[in-house]
């Protein structure tokens, strides 16, 4: 199948997303798979919720998250969103890639692109954007560089991971065992991971990294997707 030019990530010869409604796909795989509303509703007031993402791309998952939380009815949330991109795109390219979702999320796309335009993507390391939404505050910490560098540079462990790099066949580096082990090491006990891939190798690596895994129903013709929960280590007495 011919990939439309504006959706093709030329570094991996792969599209940025695989289904027509990739916003709803993200909600199903990452937010429902992570039980976000349930967990955010139950957490103590004033506690921030930390998310990690491997593969920022055009910001599709972040746009979906803002739309999801805007519609959730939750208030006064403090969300930290740590993501990474090895091959950052220009804001104009971001608008082009996300254009198909404009009828439902146009203002959010424009907001992200406007703020992203101020990032010097030629400079490696952390870049910060703060977005104020009806649900509260969302701080994007975007690492320009390699994923292992980003995970190693985190100041605190994550409550949830969205593993959203290109598939293992197209981008094996972002699914390598040592990186997924580092993800597990930077996950709080009881924290979660979610991803569209159900690759046997990825499942083995995530299991070895301490996640208890389950297959969930897929989306858009995909039979199943993957969710995991970090095992809670009980201290011997």
Question: Around Cβ 123, how many Cβ atoms within 10 Å?
Answer: 10
Residue 235, in any domain of the structure: no
Residue 131, in any domain of the structure: yes
Q: What CATH number corresponds to the domain at position 58? A: 3.40.50.150
Percentages helix, strand, coil for the chain, rounded to the nearest 5?
Answer: 35, 30, 35
Residue 157, in any domain of the structure: yes
CA distances from residue 154 to 147, 164, 212 in whole angstroms, order as listed: 11, 18, 23
Beta strands in 25-101 (DSSP E): 49-54, 77-85
Residue 30, in any domain of the structure: yes
**What is the Cα–Cα distance from 234 to 237, expressed in whole angstroms?**
9
CA 209 distance to own-chain centroid: 18
* Strand 125-133 versus strand 158-163 pairing type: unpaired
Q: How many Cα neighbours within 13 Å face the side chain of 186?
A: 25
pLDDT at 15: 53
Q: Please give the tally of structural domains in the chain.
A: 1
* Predicted TM-score of the model (pTM): 0.92
For residue 101, give its domain range.
5-230
Residue 236, in any domain of the structure: no
Torsion of CA 215, 12, 94, 104, to 10 degrees: -30
Kindly give the parts of the chain with pLDDT less than 70: 1-20, 166, 233-237
C-alpha distance across the termini of the chain, in Å: 59
Residue 136, in any domain of the structure: yes
pLDDT at 169: 81
The pair of three-digit structure tokens given for residue 103, joined into one six-digit string = 């009828």
């Amino acid at each position: 199948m011919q990939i439309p030019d504006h959706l093709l990530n030329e570094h991996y010869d792969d599209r940025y997303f695989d289904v027509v409604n990739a916003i709803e796909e993200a909600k199903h795989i990452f937010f429902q798979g992570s039980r976000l509303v349930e967990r955010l509703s139950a957490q103590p007031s004033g506690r921030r919720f930390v998310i990690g993402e491997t593969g920022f791309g055009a910001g599709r998952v972040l746009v979906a998250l803002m739309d999801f939380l805007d519609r959730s009815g939750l208030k006064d949330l403090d969300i930290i969103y740590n993501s990474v991109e090895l091959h950052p795109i220009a804001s104009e390219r971001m608008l082009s890639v996300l254009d198909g979702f404009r009828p439902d999320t146009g203002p959010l796309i424009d907001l992200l692109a406007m703020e992203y335009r101020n990032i010097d993507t030629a400079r490696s390391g952390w870049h910060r954007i703060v977005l104020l939404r009806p649900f509260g505050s969302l701080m994007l910490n975007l690492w320009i560089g390699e994923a292992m560098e980003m995970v190693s540079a985190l100041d605190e462990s994550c409550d949830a991971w969205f593993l959203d790099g290109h598939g293992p066949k197209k981008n094996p580096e972002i699914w390598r065992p040592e990186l997924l082990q580092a993800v597990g090491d930077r996950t709080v006990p009881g924290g979660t991971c979610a991803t569209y891939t159900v690759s046997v190798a990825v499942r083995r690596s995530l299991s070895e990294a301490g996640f208890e895994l389950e297959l969930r129903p897929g989306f858009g013709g995909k039979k199943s997707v993957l969710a995991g929960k970090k095992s809670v280590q009980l201290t011997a007495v």
